[in-house]
Amino acid sequence: MNGESQRARHVAIIMDGNGRWAKRKHLPRAMGHRQGVEAVRKLVRACDGLGLDCLTLYAFSSENWKRPEDEVDDLMDLMRKFIKSDLPEFIANKVRLHIIGDWRGLAPDIVAMLEDALERTAGGTTTLAVALNYGSQGEIVRAARQAAAGGEITEESLARHLDTADLPPLDLLIRTSGEVRLSNFLLWQAAYAEMLFVDTLWPDFTPDHLQQALDDFSGRERRFGGR
Ligand code: FPP
């Protein structure tokens, strides 16, 4: 970019720290996740004003099934409630829902809700991509199998079969809560993304924090391997 300021079109977030947020406030973990949904809601409302074309959120990883059953149930219930309550707003605000991950492996009622939401938001202009039952290594294996079935595996043919194939290239990946790792999220897509690790716990992450992250991004020089 030769020092010019640049705009992020696609931001992805590893929303971490719900449990620690709840613990600090002596609340049950479930309250942390509930506040986490509030943070999601505020951010989705802010996307258009922040100039984003796509926001991708890591809501449930393929490894999250290892959590205690009641926590998994809580997260699934939050997902049901979130889709049900916010779908009319998505439609009104032209938010297009997209799901990445092996989401058809979720409970049948959630799959049906998501199919309906995908169909009804298909005309939207800002994309909210939610990673559900998502693991990047699994996604790459699925894509490689499909690319191989269609002929030669190349970087382009594999990328065309990733769950993110119709999303803009990833510009910025943010992880909250001070942890510095990717946890099997968007490994392929992050090849040239900028990364930002912030200490804020997810329920405390506001649109102002995202604006700060975008300001930080706009000043970075991206060389994509060149110089
Ligand atoms: C990490 O916090 C967060 C998750 C595993 C799930 C993220 C889910 C939400 C924000 C709510 C559901 C989302 C939607 C879109 C409805 P953690 O529990 O690992 O926190 P800890 O590391 O502090 O314990």
**Does the residue 93 lie in any domain?**
yes
What does the radius of gyration of the chain's CA atoms come to, in whole angstroms? 17
**Does the residue 224 lie in any domain?**
no
Are 47 and 128 in contact by the 8 Å Cβ rule? The answer is yes
Active site residue 171: no
How many angstroms separate the alpha carbon of residue 115 from the centre of ligand 1? 23
Give the pLDDT confidence score for residue 162 in this predicted structure: 98
What is the secondary structure of 181-211 as a DSSP string? --TTSSTTGGGG-EEEE--S-GGG--HHHHH
Query: What's the CATH number where 53 sits?
Result: 3.40.1180.10
Q: Active site residue: 64, 77, 204, 216, which one?
A: 64
**Does the residue 119 lie in any domain?**
no
Give the pTM.
0.96
pLDDT means per 10 residues, the chain with 227 residues, are: 76 98 98 98 97 98 97 98 98 98 97 98 98 98 96 96 98 98 98 97 98 94 84
**Does the residue 158 lie in any domain?**
no
Q: Residue 94: what residue type?
A: K
Active site residue 184: no
Range of the domain at 103: 10-110+126-134+168-177+191-218
Q: Is the CB of 20 under 6 A from ligand 1?
A: yes
Distances (CA, A) of 25 to 19, 148, 168, 203: 10, 51, 38, 12
> How many domains would you assign to the chain?
1
**Does the residue 159 lie in any domain?**
no
Give the pLDDT confidence score for residue 1 in this predicted structure: 46
How many angstroms separate the alpha carbon of residue 210 from the centre of ligand 1? 17
Give the pLDDT confidence score for residue 17 in this predicted structure: 98
